[in-house]
Amino acid sequence: MDHNQDRLALPVGTTLDRFIMRKQEDFPYATGELSQLLRDIALAAKIVNREINRSGLIDITGAYGQQNVQGEEQQKLDVIANIRFIRALRNGGEVCTVISEEDEDMIQTGKNQGKYVVAIDPLDGSSNIDVNVSIGTIFSIYRRQSAIGQEGTQEDCLQKGVHQVAAGYVIYGSSTMLVYTTGNGVNGFTYEASLGEFFLSHPNITTPPSGNIYSINEGSANSFPEGVKQFVQYCKDSSFSARYIGSLVADFHRNLLKGGIYIYPATAKNTNGKLRLMYECNALAFIVEQAGGKASNGQKRLMEIEPTSLHQRCPLYIGSTELVDKAESFLSPEPAEAVAAREA
C-alpha cells in the first residue's frame, strides 16, 4: 500500500483493551484477572456515559428522594451509576466484594473465587448534572487478603492506600476520559462514541512539579484552620488562579494536567474533612504519586493512613509536589476540638 492510500485510512490509535493486554506481563500473579476487571469497569463507564448524555431527555436528573449512608441527598444518576458498576463487577467474576460510597455495608458479589475487592464512588459531583458540569467515577482495586473461596471480609476492604494494585477515574465532560494506573505510570484514554471504544490519548501522564492554580471552596474560609487561611493568602499574594468546579474529579483532572493543588481541609462543620478515604482520596493519591505529584492529609502521606471504617473521612491536600509541600509548611497539628471551637 502506498503512502497516498495510507493517508486515506489513518490509524485510529491504541484501544484500551489492546493496551491492557500489552501490559498483562506487569502482573505475573494476575493471569489476566486484573485485565478483565479493568475491562469490566470500562464497560460500566460506557453505559453510565450513555445515561449521562441522555439524562436531560428521559427524566433521570434531579434528586432521587432518599439519602445515602453519608446523609447526602442521592441524585437519580447516583443510583443508576451505582447499579451499573456493581452489576458489571458482579457479572465479571473477578471481584469478591465491593464497597461503594452509596451503600452502608460491604456488597458480596457471590463470586467467592474472585481475587480482588473494589472501592468505588460511582458518580462523584452528581449534583452538577442538572447544570451540565463535568462529573466523574473514582475507583480503587485491592488484592483480597482472605482465603479464596469465601466471602470477602472487612479486612480485605480496609487496606492502606499503599496496597492498591490499580486505581483510576472516569471524567464525563466535554469528552469522556478514563485515567488509570497500575503502579507503572498513569495513562489516559478518551472515549470515541461512534466506535464505542476508549483510545489512548494521554500516555504517561506526568503532573508539573509546581503550578499556579489552587482549588478550594472559599465559601467555608471562615472555618478553615489558620494554616489553610495562610496558605490561601500565600496563593493570592503569588497571583495564583483560583479554580474550583465543585466536582472533585474535574478539579483533580485539570490540576493533574496543568499543575496546581486541590484542598479539602477539616472545617468546623466537618472536623475530619468531608472526602472519603476509601472511595476518593486513596485512588487519587495513587494516581497523583504515579504521575509525580503528592497527596497528604496535611500531616502525613495520605496512602499511609490506616483505615478504620468503610466510610472514613479525611482532609485532602493533593497535586503538584511543591505546592503540597508548601501547604504542609503552613499547617501544624490541631486537635479536632479546636477545629470545632473556631466558630463557637
CA-to-CA distance for 17 and 37, rounded, in angstroms? 11
DSSP 157-197: HS--GGGEEEEEEEEESSSEEEEEESSS-EEEEEEETTTTE
Is there a binding annotation on residue 123?
yes
Contact of 23 with 204, CB cutoff 8 Å: no
Count of positions (residues) in the chain: 344
CA-to-CA distance for 168 and 290, rounded, in angstroms? 11
Is there a binding annotation on residue 114?
no
Is there a binding annotation on residue 274?
yes
Could you tell me which of 41, 303, 307, 24 has the C-alpha nearest to residue 182? 24
* Residue tagged 503502579 (cell numbers): 183
- Joined together, the cell numbers standing for residue 91 give 457479572
Is there a binding annotation on residue 269?
no
Neighbours of 72 (CB within 10 A): 14
Is there a binding annotation on residue 244?
yes
Could you tell me which of 67, 51, 47, 68 has the C-alpha nearest to residue 59? 51
Is there a binding annotation on residue 325?
no
- Binding-site residue numbers for substrate are 124-127, 217, 244, 274
- Binding-site residue numbers are 101, 121, 123-127, 217, 244, 274, 280
- Binding-site residue numbers for Mg(2+) are 101, 121, 123-124, 280
